[in-house]
Amino acid sequence: MSIRPKTHPTTILSLLILGFVHFGVANATLLSADETPSVEEQARLVLANQLPIEEVIDARVWRAMAGGDIIGNGGGIVEQRMFAAFKDTFRLVSQCLRNLTCPINSVDRNLLERVLQVARQNRHLPESLIFVSSTTYPLFFKDPETGLVRSAKTGFRPELPVFVNREHLYHNGQPALSSAELIGLLVHELGHQAGEANHTRLDDLGARLAAWVLQGGTLIERRLLGQQTQFQVINPKSPDEWPILWMGWNSQTTPLSSLARAQVQCLESDRTPIGMELSNVHWQRESLANDELTVPISAWARIFCQDRNAMVIYEDRDVDFVVTIKRPWTPQPTISTQIKWH
């Protein structure tokens, strides 16, 4: 959530005139066509905060950073959840813009429309999120004005990665950021890519959007076989939308939204399901047999069904998400989910 001010050409010029002491630093940000540093060198300069992110044109630099050669991008639970949240941000922002209950004024709306455009453009980027350790690269997340170490940063144009501070994702091995905070953080960074420089304004917008998104949503948590286990439901804001669902166990996050959506049926065959919301989400007793841990999660589903006359009728059903986790528990258990309707 920090942007290094772009070095203005006049600044570089005056630094050059003032003396050669500054020459090294100023020179690092000057990328003329014939002396563009190598991909690896550009990655090194970005991490040393000597090359502004938005000045990097060659996407191979991000690939080099995300590929693990330089940073080592592992996949803990928060990292995985963040990738899922990144994909959902487009949908959540567009839901907010279409819904009158979303707490935004006309100025926010304008900014959020630009954020939506950026989210749409960035959805399929191969290197959308890059995790960097602020311990290994102490200058990268440091705000030059306040000296604060930020949780994330990016540059002032779309199609750039969002860089996330790995040291801020966990506290004593447990996830340090809630789903709301992840959504808020991503909206903040996409806001920078949409051209907004004000961190406070973006913090505020991100927090309001995240609070609105999670209103009426549910996160249930417990420990199973000594591992943190979570089931998250983010309900939609209108009857013709679908909930976002995922299950987390140990370091693995399993998205369930598409699976649930594919299996929803209306009781009458001439009705089409157009949306759903879940409430009363709760754990059932787990069972352990034959190296398989079975964890049922129950909920009340309200399915919105449209008939041939475009009338929308809701049907209330009970649903179980039966999650099966197979040994070996670590590092990569096999997790599968069955959905049972009653």
Kindly tell me which of 1 and 319 has the beta carbon lying closer to Zn ion.
Answer: 1
* Residue span 203-232 as binding mask against Zn ion, x where in contact by CB under 5 A, dash where not: ------------------------------
The answer to whether 194 contacts Zn ion (rule: CB under 5 A) is no
Closest of 215, 234, 230 to residue 102, by C-alpha: 215
User: Environment class of residue 238 by beta-carbon count within 10 Å: exposed (0-12), middle (13-18) or buried (19+)?
Assistant: middle
Which of the ranges 194-202, 235-243, 251-259, 304-312 carries the binding residues for Zn ion, by CB under 5 A?
194-202
Which of the ranges 9-17, 174-182, 198-206, 308-316 carries the binding residues for Zn ion, by CB under 5 A?
198-206
Query: In the structure encoding, which two tokens stand for residue 339, read together?
Result: 């959905």
Minimum distance from residue 60 beta carbon to Zn ion (Å): 26
Query: In the structure encoding, which two tokens stand for residue 99, read together?
Result: 């819904």
Minimum distance from residue 4 beta carbon to Zn ion (Å): 11
User: What Rg do the C-alpha atoms of the chain give, in angstroms?
Assistant: 23
Query: In the structure encoding, which two tokens stand for residue 261, read together?
Result: 């959506």
Give the contacts of 185 (CB within 8 A, at least 6 positions apart). Answer: 1, 151, 152, 164, 177, 206
The answer to whether 186 contacts Zn ion (rule: CB under 5 A) is no
The answer to whether 91 contacts Zn ion (rule: CB under 5 A) is no
Minimum distance from residue 189 beta carbon to Zn ion (Å): 7
Minimum distance from residue 196 beta carbon to Zn ion (Å): 9
The answer to whether 15 contacts Zn ion (rule: CB under 5 A) is no
Closest of 53, 52, 47 to residue 7, by C-alpha: 52
**Residue carrying the six token digits 């989210």:** 119
Using CB under 5 A, which of 81, 199, 237, 271 touches Zn ion?
199
Minimum distance from residue 1 beta carbon to Zn ion (Å): 4
Give the contacts of 170 (CB within 8 A, at least 6 positions apart). Answer: 76, 78, 176
Which of the ranges 164-172, 195-203, 321-329, 334-342 carries the binding residues for Zn ion, by CB under 5 A?
195-203
Neighbours of 228 (CB within 10 A): 16
Kindly tell me which of 131 and 249 has the beta carbon lying closer to Zn ion.
Answer: 131
Minimum distance from residue 145 beta carbon to Zn ion (Å): 12
Which residue ranges make up the site for Zn ion (CB under 5 A)? Answer: 1, 199
